[in-house]
């Protein structure tokens, strides 16, 4: 049996979503900017999908001068546009556990002269908001933008976004939230959130890859990354992928309406996996366990092994998991998240991430516990002999 436990990286597309997209693909040529009947029909499908997305994010997207949604190719592009296009290019504040797409963009901006301010995290992965409050109250820090993830993609630790939004609102500072891991998994009402901009992508909640969004609060403007067309008020030119947006809307609708049931299911499977492994191997370390976490995310340190050996052994055993962020796991550098948490080196070098979804089963988890335990025992004995 092959078991997919890498749902933080990407999820299987829901069959219901695929069917909606197939119908859209077969509906004929789709260019929502064309003025003929085909184009007008495409525009109506696109507008309806965007309104659906707004309704399930708790925001109106059909109001003049109101909130708006920029359709992008996914989370990386949305994050890039937010960081490069929001604020007045003054100091940017972010935590050390952000997604690589945020960190890389921030460092690119720093090389071009933009000041960065860093927020640390505690040993269990929660952002230090006391540091943000101190920065805001310091006269010489004229902060232009704060960017924080809603939940960490490696540990699953849910971050204090509501509190950060309140701090930023009182100080008149824009807050960008990378909600890539939480949309469809945690309740959200953008209308009263205090958030200025929010990133999400469909393939994290059983929608299609290649499409995402950057939501902007009313009166928040963003500079474009691309140029060359009038689509999306010239903030993101290019022909809109109507079928992908329709699929994203359907996936979001299903994720939100089924959220309560899915969350209970995923949390039960995650706890079963962790408890089953800890019963056999009490020395294992579950990262971030003392804080609230995403229902389906587990980050486990397999002491006395190294993450790459464990990853390869589990792959051979038919279990798909990850040694960190999907955007960096190809080269498998040490986790910047665990490093920022000041975890011991033996934990950093031995940690794997597991992510279950609403399609995961208890049979898969029970089989995985056996396979993971067997692989761990073999590699741990080998390491002890080598040492």
What would the pLDDT profile of 149-206 be if each residue is shown by its tens digit? 999 999 999 999 999 999 999 999 999 999 999 999 999 999 989 999 999 999 999 9
Output the pLDDT for position 329. 45
pLDDT, tens digit, 9 for 90 and up, residues 26-43: 998 888 888 999 889 999
Q: Phi and psi of 180, rounded to 5°? A: -55, -40
Where do the structural domains in the chain lie, given as residue ranges? 3-11+259-386, 15-257
| Cα–Cα dist 257/239, whole Å | 30
Residue 385 has pLDDT above 80, yes or no: no
pLDDT at 246: 98
Q: Could you tell me whether strands 174-178 and 145-149 are parallel, antiparallel, or unpaired per DSSP bridges?
A: parallel
- pLDDT of 66 > 80? The answer is yes
With b for 16 or more beta-carbon neighbours within 10 A and e for fewer, the 242-261 pattern comes to bbbbbbbbbbbbbbbeebee
End-to-end CA distance of the chain: 34
Tell which residue, 218, 202, 178, has the closest CA to residue 81: 178
pLDDT band at 250 (very low <50, low <70, confident <90, very high): very high
Contact 109, 270 (CB under 8 A): no
* Sheet containing 174-178, strands listed edge to edge, beginning at the edge strand earlier in sequence: 68-72, 212-216, 197-201, 174-178, 145-149, 92-95, 116-119
Give me the sign of the Cα torsion angle 133, 137, 139, 145. Answer: positive
CATH: 2.60.120.200, 3.20.80.10, 3.60.40.10, 3.90.1150.10. Which one for 3-11+259-386?
3.90.1150.10
161-171 vs 129-137: helix crossing angle, rounded to 10:
0
Structure tokens at 177: 């939230």
The residues annotated as belonging to the active site are: 327
Residue pair 4/320 in contact (Cβ under 8 Å)? The answer is: yes
pLDDT of residue 325: 57
Look-up: residue for tokens 């958030």? 195
Per-residue pLDDT at 267 exceeds 80:
yes
Note whether 3-11+259-386 and 15-257 share their fold. Answer: no
Asked whether the beta carbons of 187 and 170 are under 8 A apart, the reply is: no
pLDDT at 386: 55
pLDDT per position as a tens digit, 294-346: 999 999 999 999 999 999 999 999 999 998 655 544 456 889 999 999 999 99
- Report which of 364, 368, 366, 376 is spatially closest to residue 307, judged by C-alpha positions: 376
Predicted structure pTM score = 0.95
* CATH code linked to domain 15-257: 3.40.640.10
Say which residue the tokens 């989370």 belong to: 75
Residue 100 in this model has a pLDDT that exceeds 90 = yes
């Amino acid at each position: 049996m092959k078991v997919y436990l890498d749902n933080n990286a990407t999820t299987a597309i829901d069959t219901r979503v695929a069917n909606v997209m197939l119908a859209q693909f077969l509906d004929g040529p789709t260019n929502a900017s064309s003025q003929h009947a085909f184009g007008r029909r495409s525009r109506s499908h696109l507008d309806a999908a965007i309104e659906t997305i707004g309704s399930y994010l708790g925001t109106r997207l059909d109001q003049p001068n109101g909130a708006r949604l920029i359709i992008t190719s996914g989370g990386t592009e949305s994050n890039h546009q937010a960081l490069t296009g929001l604020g007045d290019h003054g100091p940017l504040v972010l935590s050390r556990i952000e997604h690589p797409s945020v960190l890389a963009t921030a460092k690119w901006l720093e090389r071009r002269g933009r000041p960065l301010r860093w927020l640390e995290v505690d040993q269990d992965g929660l952002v230090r908001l006391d540091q943000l409050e101190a920065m805001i109250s310091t006269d010489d820090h004229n902060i232009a933008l704060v960017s924080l993830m809603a939940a960490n993609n490696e540990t699953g630790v849910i971050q204090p976004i509501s509190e950060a939004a309140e701090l930023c609102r009182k100080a008149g500072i824009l807050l960008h939230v990378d909600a890539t891991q939480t949309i469809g998994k945690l309740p959200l009402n953008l209308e009263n959130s205090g958030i200025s901009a929010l990133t999400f992508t469909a393939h994290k909640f059983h929608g299609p890859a290649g499409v995402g969004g950057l939501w902007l609060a009313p009166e928040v403007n963003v500079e474009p990354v691309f140029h060359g067309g009038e689509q999306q008020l010239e903030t993101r030119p290019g022909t809109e992928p109507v079928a992908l947006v329709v699929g994203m809307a359907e996936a979001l609708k299903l994720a939100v309406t089924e959220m309560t049931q899915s969350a209970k299911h995923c949390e039960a499977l995650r706890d079963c996996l962790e408890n089953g492994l800890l019963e056999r191997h009490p020395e294992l370390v579950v990262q971030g366990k003392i804080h609230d976490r995403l229902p389906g995310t587990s980050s486990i340190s397999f002491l006395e092994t190294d993450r790459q050996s464990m990853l390869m052994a589990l792959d051979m055993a038919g279990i798909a998991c990850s040694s960190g962020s999907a955007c960096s796991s190809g080269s498998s550098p040490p986790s910047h998240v665990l490093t920022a948490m000041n975890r011991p080196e033996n934990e950093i070098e031995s940690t794997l991430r597991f992510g279950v979804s609403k399609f995961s089963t208890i049979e898969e988890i029970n089989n995985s516990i056996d396979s993971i335990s067997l692989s761990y025992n073999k590699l741990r004995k080998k390491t002890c002999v080598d040492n």
